[in-house]
Amino acid sequence: MEHTPNYLTPVGWQALKDELYQLVNKERPEIVQIVNWAAGNGDRSENGDYLYGKRRMREIDRRIRFLTKRLEAAQVVDPENREPTDQIFFGATVEILRGDGQEQTVRIVGVDEIDTARNKISWISPLARTLLKAREGDEVVFHGPDGREDIEILSVAYVKID
């Protein structure tokens, strides 16, 4: 089975590491304490603290496994260290002119870093796939949910993505 690399910006990689640390060193030990305390209170079948704690521990363990796998597969790509180019690759900050005349800035990031409110789009999203490898000044055709849209690429920069 071929594994797709998990591209991340340095900030995205750090966010996953921070979440994993928080779960392993803070949340999980607290839940273990609650479960142990609740288990000592007799009948577990009607013990809400015990039942909730066990369920929460399963959720935490599942998230820890997920984050560990994502970090093992991570390939950190720092846009600030990229060779200067006007071509769009992972980590690019791209200013585009949408078909409706609206200008938009998008940042192409890893799937674990998506934040549409801050215009961070995944490198495998339909819009990013349309933009990848195009250059500043190019026009591309995006086939989105609203049909065909002509998009002009106004600028391409490789700067820190926060």
| pLDDT, average across residues 27-32 | 95
In whole numbers, what is the pLDDT of the chain averaged over residues?
Answer: 93
Asked whether residue 29 is assigned to any structural domain, the reply reads yes
Are both 97 and 145 inside the same structural domain?
A: yes
| pLDDT, average across residues 79-90 | 92
Are both 67 and 111 inside the same structural domain?
A: no
Helix H or strand E segment including 69? helix 48-72
Asked whether residue 79 is assigned to any structural domain, the reply reads no
Asked whether residue 162 is assigned to any structural domain, the reply reads no
Predicted confidence at residue 2, as pLDDT, reads 53
Which pLDDT band, with edges at 50, 70 and 90, does 5 fall under? Answer: confident
Asked whether residue 143 is assigned to any structural domain, the reply reads yes
Are both 41 and 17 inside the same structural domain?
A: yes
Predicted confidence at residue 144, as pLDDT, reads 87
Number of domains making up the chain: 2
Task: Look at residue 133 and give its three-state secondary structure.
Answer: coil
Across 76-80, 81-85, 123-127, 133-137, least confident range = 81-85
Are both 67 and 48 inside the same structural domain?
A: yes
Tell me the C-alpha distance between 6 and 119, whole Å: 19
* Residue that terminates a domain, selected from 52, 74, 96: 74
Buried b (16+ CB within 10 A) or exposed e, 72-103: eebeebebeeeeeeeebbbbbbbebeebeeee
Are both 12 and 54 inside the same structural domain?
A: yes
Find the domain containing 127 and state its range: 85-155
What are the tokens at 159?
């700067």
Are both 64 and 90 inside the same structural domain?
A: no
Asked whether residue 22 is assigned to any structural domain, the reply reads yes
Asked whether residue 160 is assigned to any structural domain, the reply reads no
Are both 46 and 89 inside the same structural domain?
A: no
Which pLDDT band, with edges at 50, 70 and 90, does 3 fall under? Answer: low
Predicted confidence at residue 43, as pLDDT, reads 72
- CATH value at residue 136: 3.10.50.30
Query: Per residue in 103-153, pLDDT tens?
Result: 999 999 999 999 999 999 999 999 999 999 999 999 999 998 889 999 999
- CATH value at residue 54: 1.10.287.180
Are both 56 and 91 inside the same structural domain?
A: no
Are both 11 and 45 inside the same structural domain?
A: yes
Full-model pTM: 0.83
Which pLDDT band, with edges at 50, 70 and 90, does 84 fall under? Answer: confident
